[in-house]
Structure 1
Amino acid sequence: MSSQPPSTIELEFAESYDREHAQVCRDVGPVGVLQRLTRWRERSLIRRALKIAGEPGLVLDLACGAGRFWPLLAEHGNRVILAADPSAGMLDHARTHHSSGLLARITLFQSSVFTIDMSENAVDCIFCMQLFHHVRDSEHRLAILRELHRVSRDTLILSLCIKSSHYPQRICVAKEEVEAQFSEAGFSILKQYDVLPGRGAGSIFVLRKET
């Protein structure tokens, strides 16, 4: 068993928020060509992933951080968006980065990622674009996946870094390991997209909940 408790994982999330805050605040300023390409590609793939997931009407953005993807999720006019994060302070911060019109469409609440305060099959789709980039421990990853399986009725969209010798500083996982964990948690893979192949920008998976 890992000696690192779930609470430590969520403290690591909190430590990453200063970096994310800086990133969000830089969004309005000039960015480089590669960064613009990465953002464009990421958003394009998320739109594709949502289509593969059936354009879910009720979505939970888990470990939502500053809400970087809320405008994209809100492009579907009838979509109901829930957003949860382990940090109440981060949720307060997120409210300062979005318009009142967008925030009116989103229900925010504080929640652990290991014990989500929702019933079984509560949402059509869970959306995790940042969460798994902060989970180092394999057992914790599997525990989170099992909790996501409990709460999702149908699909899960997530991003993570597939292990590559070119990016040793990032939290990455071997493709075979994570695919086995998806299956063990009760998910099958509908689609996988590489954001920028060979650039270590991560992969986006669309998973379906198996009965």
Structure 2
Amino acid sequence: MKQATQQHDINVAATIDGYMKDSQGRLWPESKVKPIDKERDQLVHELIKNAIAVNTALAHFKKSAFGDIAAFVELSAEQYDAKLGGKKGNVTLFSFDGQYKVQFAVAENIQFDERLQAAKSLIDECIKEWSQGSSPEIQVLVQDAFKTDKEGNLNHGRILALRRLEIKDQRWKNAMTAIGESVQVIGSKQYIRFYERRAETDQYDPIPLDMAAI
């Protein structure tokens, strides 16, 4: 009963200065908290407060930059009486002196539907038949195209790259058609990147906004 009374007293003290809450929600009189624990707590709170402020500023800057670029693209199109419809595509903007450039990119998130399985079946038929006479490089390329990563995801780029191979077998052509028609765009994400030209060169170095890259 005494323990319950003590806990009640601590809870009542929740609205009273001079107490600190621990990770389990218990309140401790500041006089009972070690100085090093107080210093650590203060440091973490200050860093998190600043990090949230930077995060908020970046979010505002990103939104503003996207809006400014979209408005400029519209303004530029108006010079030629052109009307733009739908989502804006990729665009690169340079400063007048070429010292800086800003890249705005739209990356599409794609997936393959069930027709990819039909394509894989046709490709397997071809590889099996060609196994004696086909180029080992082509066999490896096809095998690698359908490998999955640790999460079981396919590499979209490698699969789509198969369509660049000039192979006249009709089954292969049908497989490439199936791959193309199986692509489904399920969403897109916008990116913006900033660059500064390296002194006396034509190369541009990224201006990192990722803390890990600074």
Instruction: Flag the structure with higher helix content.
Output: 2
Question: Structure 1 length normalisation: TM-score?
Answer: 0.21
Question: Structure 2 length normalisation: TM-score?
Answer: 0.20
Specify the structure having the higher radius of gyration (Cα).
2
Instruction: Flag the structure with higher strand content.
Output: 1
